[in-house]
Amino acid sequence: MTSGAEIQRPAKELIEGLRGLGAATIAGTLGHMGFRNPHMTGILPQTKGKVICGPALTLQCLPQRPDLFSEGEYADPETQLHRHVLYHVQDGDVVVVDARGDMRSGIFGDMMSTYFKGRGGAGIIIDGVMRDRPNVEKLDLALWLKGWSPNYHVQTDIYPYAVNVTIACGGVTVVPGDIIVADDDGAVVVPVSMARQVIEDGQKHAEWEEFSRMKLMAGESLQRYYPLHPDAQEEYEAWRRENPLR
């Protein structure tokens, strides 16, 4: 088992540039760039209306094996690696957990979630479940999960094995330090090396969509305005000049 190293956090301007785009725009933009599925499938928003954007801290779980794992939950709490990923949390970070899709053991509960919030974490994403739902919901955290369980994190068949290593979450590879954007559409992964291009292309897309939405609401041609037809480009450019970006 390994507690992992500190991540390299991306530049603040990348975080801020991605924050306003939304998961759907980012997923579509990445798709056109060759990252066909950046969406963590089956991991659903638990707190409607929350939007997060921040670097990924990762926790990997594996199936239990008696020669590699013994519980020791209170005999030696430091053997619990789910604690260690939280030790790394800084303001705005996102904890992403590969819990192997397990629906039986709650990775974090009330006390760990309270610590996470106190550290300034932005949100938690788990390919699996959490516990202590009534108390956790009082914390008003941003959560994307597969569900909830009353069981604690190693009660059944999995255990935390490594912190800040490359993982799979919801069918997507997540590298520590990747930028995570999550909202009511779900959670997406943005590789830092692709972030600037995503911001540039995504902002252009969002801008012409605003123009197209206005036209479609007025009952005008779907063929002309979505996607924006080349014949409508001059009209769009005129609208842009009259309506500069806020």
Do 82 and 124 meet the contact criterion of CB atoms below 8 Å apart? no
CB neighbour list of residue 22: distance below 8 Å, 6 or more residues apart = 51, 181, 183, 185, 206
Distance from C-alpha of 188 to C-alpha of 52, rounded to nearest angstrom? 11
Which CATH code of 3.40.50.1970, 3.30.450.20, 3.40.605.10, 3.50.30.40 fits the domain covering 12-190? 3.50.30.40
Give Cα separations from 156 to 69, 118, 149, 152 (angstroms): 12, 29, 11, 8
Q: State phi, psi for 187 to the nearest 5 degrees.
A: -115, 135
> Predicted confidence band at 1 (pLDDT cuts at 50, 70, 90)?
low
Give the range among 98-102, 168-172, 180-184, 207-211 with minimum mean pLDDT.
207-211
Q: Is 100 helix (H, G, I), strand (E, B) or coil?
A: coil
Distance from C-alpha of 124 to C-alpha of 132, rounded to nearest angstrom? 15
At 29-87, the pLDDT tens digits run 999 999 999 999 999 999 999 999 999 999 999 999 988 887 766 567 777 889 999 99
The predicted pLDDT at position 208 comes to 78
Residue 230: cis peptide before it, omega within 30 degrees of 0: no
The predicted pLDDT at position 74 comes to 55
Which residue ranges make up each domain of the chain? 12-190, 196-242
pTM of the predicted model, to two decimals? 0.88
Mean pLDDT of the chain, nearest integer = 92
CA neighbor of 53 nearest in space, from 91, 6, 4: 91
Distance from C-alpha of 240 to C-alpha of 204, rounded to nearest angstrom? 11
The predicted pLDDT at position 73 comes to 60
Q: Label residue 96 exposed, middle or buried (CB < 10 Å: 0-12, 13-18, 19+).
A: buried
CA neighbor of 100 nearest in space, from 132, 61, 137: 61
At 112-170, the pLDDT tens digits run 999 999 999 999 999 999 999 999 999 999 999 999 999 999 999 999 999 999 999 99
pLDDT surpasses 80 at 192? yes
Q: Bigger pLDDT: 245 or 164? A: 164
